[in-house]
Structure 1
């Protein structure tokens, strides 16, 4: 199992059902699949190999991107027998994926606190109850090698940006996964929330996502994001405990005046405390990115290398 020194904790809801896998990662300081920034420019690189180039509009209405063919999933393809054994058990899938992510030299995990969870705004976004195929196709950001993430139209919708072209329905993997989608054994798609792009990146499961869309069914998802650092959790925990104690003290004063007919407060204060502590550990925090050595000029040099003789208007002008 990977991640020497990494602490794992299963998070449960009030009813005891599984809500996510909490990871306290000790190393590395900088991941193999790393986000770099230079002003409004972004580079996602896998062990120094460019995977995605992006530039945020000056008016912050969206992001131009150029996708290379360098993405390689940090997770090996699941075997059919594994899919059958873990069918429908997202908690066990999360532990399996965590082990691979912690072992992978080209994964996104770095020191800090992370959550792998089944909850995603994407699963709650189909308010119009449209056919699943229509909804999930709309959530995909299209374009290869270049395209546009539209923040103006899709603000807050948390779209999905595949890191490689989506396979079509004739692809052999998609055909195999469609059968699993029908019989309920389809392994989950692993999404990585990147706040600087305001969208999810598909880390693993492009063909499985395509299969679910082809079958017009909601894909099983696991959602990876950063959570609050230790000092923020400690401070928030102290505040939550003080509120809990103050609420019990208030009820004790009322009981002293009005007698035992007044509840002691634990029935309401206890669940509130539990919810606050759970939210402290699970709420999303902004993605980390590292300054790109060489800054904007280096970003433009990477653009020239990656795009070769193909024109990409989204790159903008190099700095003077």
Structure 2
């Protein structure tokens, strides 16, 4: 896997670009059968979901099968990385690349702190804000696309621990010290929300300490072939504009600017946007289709009446 830092013109870090070329299907995989989704880690169903016929939301059933792709993070490692989201992005990238049961597959990805989460309004307590962002319910629940449209909620991949949990207590000191590692999330377009890949206890610790949690969002971005074609289009548009300015200088006045100062920044913004533009999450057809999905539902729910009609 190739990786490289993405920055603004002023050097501000935007995220970490990941380019994977040798994994056709991930170990943590999204399968689809019509309006039904299955997220499976290896052979183990992690999440079953069915999209509302009116596209108002998603009913989900979460199993306890998910296993984090990130090994336990040591306190000395957290101190060494000093709460730097950029440095943690490189660390998590190694975990993602090495994990056979992670979400990465062939293509381009971005690990970025600038996710789609709705920002906290002034004066709103942090616990209240995250109480609205976190999707509740275990084993079943509902991701509301109507009431929470544009919020891009966060779905824990396992039940959130409470403030008294031993792991949360250990992380609360790091939250106070400013060395708490980021929470790793995966943007899944079919759910229109973020799935927590690692960091449930860290998120709970940050909320308990009223400390804004650091986040790293993993999302799929423009694939190589499309990126190459779009770059050619952007460069072609820039070249055409420069030629237009040259024509104006020749036919009207030498005082007409050559256009580089105007169009150069436009080209730079277009290229940067192309490099980080999100793309829908890939899903694979579920072998056996809807009938297979129904059988998995019966197995994991013990034939409970789910999804609700």
TM-score between both structures, scaled by the size of structure 1: 0.92
Q: Write the distance in 2 (CA, Å) between the matches of 1:129 and 1:267.
A: 42
Pick the aligned partner of 2:143 from 143, 149, 156.
149
Do residues 29 (structure 1) and 24 (structure 2) align?
yes
Q: Residues of 2 paired with 1:105 and 1:213: CA distance?
A: 31
Which residue of structure 1 aligns with residue 223 of structure 2? 229
Q: Considering only aligned residues, what root-mean-square deviation do their CA atoms show, in Å?
A: 1.5
Q: Alpha-carbon deviation of 1:267?
A: 2.4
Structure-1 separation of matches of 2:142 and 2:287: 25
**2:155 aligned to which of 157, 161, 164:** 161
Kindly report which structure 2 residues correspond to 1:195-234, keeping only aligned pairs within 5 A, or say none: 195-234=189-228
Q: 2:283 aligns with which of 266, 274, 289?
A: 289
- 1:313 partner SS: coil
2: distance between equivalents of 1:135 and 1:263? 50
Q: Alignment partner for residue 47 of structure 1, among 27, 42, 47?
A: 42
Q: Which residue of 2 aligns with 1:60?
A: 55
Residue 137 (str. 1) matches residue 142 (str. 2): no
Does the Cα contact within 8 Å between 1:33 and 1:44 map onto a contact in 2? yes
Q: Deviations over 1:139-185 (max 9, x none)?
A: 00000111000111112211000000000000111112111111111
Match of 1:314?
A: 307
What SS does the aligned partner of 1:224 have? strand
Output one character per residue of 1:249-280: Cα deviation in whole Å (capped at 9) or x when no partner. Answer: 233334443334x4333223222211111111
The answer to whether the 8 A contact 1:133-1:217 is kept is: no
Shift of 1:236: 0.9
Are the aligned partners of 1:41 and 1:299 in contact in 2 as well (CA < 8 Å)? yes
Relative distance call for 1:118 and 1:58 in structure 2 (3 A) is same
1:43-73 per-position Cα deviation (integer Å, ceiling 9, x unaligned)? 1110010111111111111111111111111
Contact 1:64–1:314 (CA<8 Å) still a contact in 2? yes
Determine the C-alpha separation between the residues in 2 that align with 1:264 and 1:127: 45
Please state whether the residue corresponding to 2:264 is helix, strand or coil.
helix
Q: Distance in 1 between matches of 2:17 and 2:52?
A: 34
Q: 1:7 aligns with which of 2, 6, 11?
A: 2
Structure 1 position 10, deviation (Å): 1.3
Compute the TM-score of the two structures, normalised by the length of structure 2: 0.95
Moved more, 208-217 or 102-111: 208-217
Q: Which residue number corresponds to residue 242 of structure 1?
A: 236
Gaps of 5+ in 1: 1-5
Deviation beyond 4 Å, 4+ runs, structure 1: none
Please report how far the alpha carbon of residue 315 of structure 1 lies from its aligned counterpart in structure 2 after TM superposition: 5.8
Determine the structure 1 residue equivalent to 2:68.
73
